[in-house]
Chain A
Amino acid sequence: MTEATPIVLPNMAARRVAGIARAIVRTALFALIIVWSAFPILYIVVSSFKQQKEIFKYPPDIIFTPTFEHYAALATKWTGFFPTMGNSLIVAVGATILACVASILSGFVYSRYANRFLAGSVLYLIAIRLLPPIVVTLPLFPVVDALKLSDTHLVLIILYATFWVSLCTMIMKTFIDKIPRTLDEAAVVDGATTMQTLVRVIMPLALQGIAACAIFVFVFAWNEYLFALIFTTQHAKTAPLIISEVMDAVSGTNWGVLFAGVTVQLLPVTLLVMLAQRFLIAGLTAGSVKG
């Protein structure tokens, strides 16, 4: 604006009222966001510490004497639970390691090497993520069976890692791109091999990206349902699968035990996600915006 604006004395009182109203609305909206995000989860966690008869009381008690009986009953009343938690842990750790190793290697190549084939295959990495994964279950099902891989940890590890390698490769490429090339050139001058350069120079500087990839894959593998449903029946069954089975069959006095089991399943990963938010946000922006 170039013309002189007339000076109006601001109505201080009206402004203050408007400011206070704004602050109240904002606080209310933040409160709503907290309730929306946390209430369903806290509802399960809190219910797992309630006595059976208190769980479905309406209106629910906010203050009550906590009981640990459902946790004590987990091992005896729900014998399948802890073995499936073990399976979930094996599968999630395995998939995380496989996806991270593969994408650190390929992310390094995509960042440091130039080739026409390489440039073209970036598009392929992005495009392949558009395919709905359920489609590949149909041809894989008989192959997995023939290879005697059905109901093993390995099949889930390979599947889960594959669903994430393309995104993780893009994340690793973005993080490695930020490391100055002069550092790896210096390492080569000092006589380091490509592998030594990657492990000693690149990886320590790309830890944030590795952490982001690891969290994405771990959370996904820990929680996945559809592929566990199709490819496991007994030995490699994961925790989400047994929770879904018990959820449909549960009755009477077992709700508390189910809630205790669900709490054990969700708490470690929820805490991981809450504590590692920095890496998640960095990884999301690196992977999605660039990829």
Chain B
Amino acid sequence: MSAMRLIFDIALTHVAGRGRQTLVAVIGVAVGVGFSIAMAALMQGGQDDFVRQLVDTMPHVDVTDEQRTARRQPAEDLFEAVAISGLRPRDDRRGIINPTKAVSWLEEWMPGRLAAVLNVQGVIRYSGREVGAVVIGIEPEKEMRVSPIVEDFESGSFSALAAGGNNVVIGDTMASRLGAALGDTITAISSEGRARNFKIVGLFHTGTTARDEGEGYVLLKNAQILSNRPNAINEIRIKLDDPNAAPSIAHRVEVELGYKAVAWQEANESILEALVVRNVIMYTVVAAIMLVAGFGIFNIVSTITHEKARDIAIMKSLGFSETDMRRLFVIEGLAIGIAGSLLGWTLGFAIT
């Protein structure tokens, strides 16, 4: 133990005795470690923020009235045939069947909040101008609990819809394209040709062009009237307490309800994959920086070893073994590495 202490003392004396070179090596390691930490923190923080925004701006699980595979036609169940052609498919009425039961079932076990929605494809017209739009029927109280648009209103709010009447909130870009302003009355026309007038009671700006230019929110009842589909909904938006549980919950919903349920991870698979690629690149760069810092340590220890060749001979004559000598220089490298890492950690912490 005391022999180790002696080697430790000699190592530290060597390192301390070469103040300038040691300082340069320590700074080299510190800068490498510091910027690696800062870079990793910056990238990770950016990624977390990006994912958080991504998660916040969309439902964690989006249940729609679509199916992943085409619905089987009755003829396919009746006849055992390789292929059936010339069929006139049954005219399915779109929408989630028995929505009240589906919503109640979800509310029973699903850890989070949900909102039932009816999306109606159509056109919004004002003073001779028309914009293709999705008129979204919502229940304001519930929608406010799952939608981030609540925070994006420039004027008015979802609450204004709750007051009743034929009111609508639209994106500010759509309003400017139509030349309409708060308080003006626009006409919404469904794809089936039904038209209804709505008074603009709110304008929002999400920053997402597709939404600001192509979405208008009305009461669910009004959307059902506009599309002539009483009591219908075609989307259930779910916000979970734990966004990471989305895939398993989406799977369960899809199995139980039979409708396509898309978790936010699935909806943004390509973005998340891009993040993985970005992380690989980032950590490769970080590894390269650390490698360069490692070369710095190697360089200083190598220089010390060469310059201390005479001291090595002296110490061997004093009874030090080759193992002792190796330990001595390993400790010197470790001392520089640890000092540089601690300093780098502080630096990285300060930068971030």
- Chains A and B bind each other: no
- Chain B residues with CB under 8 Å of chain A are none
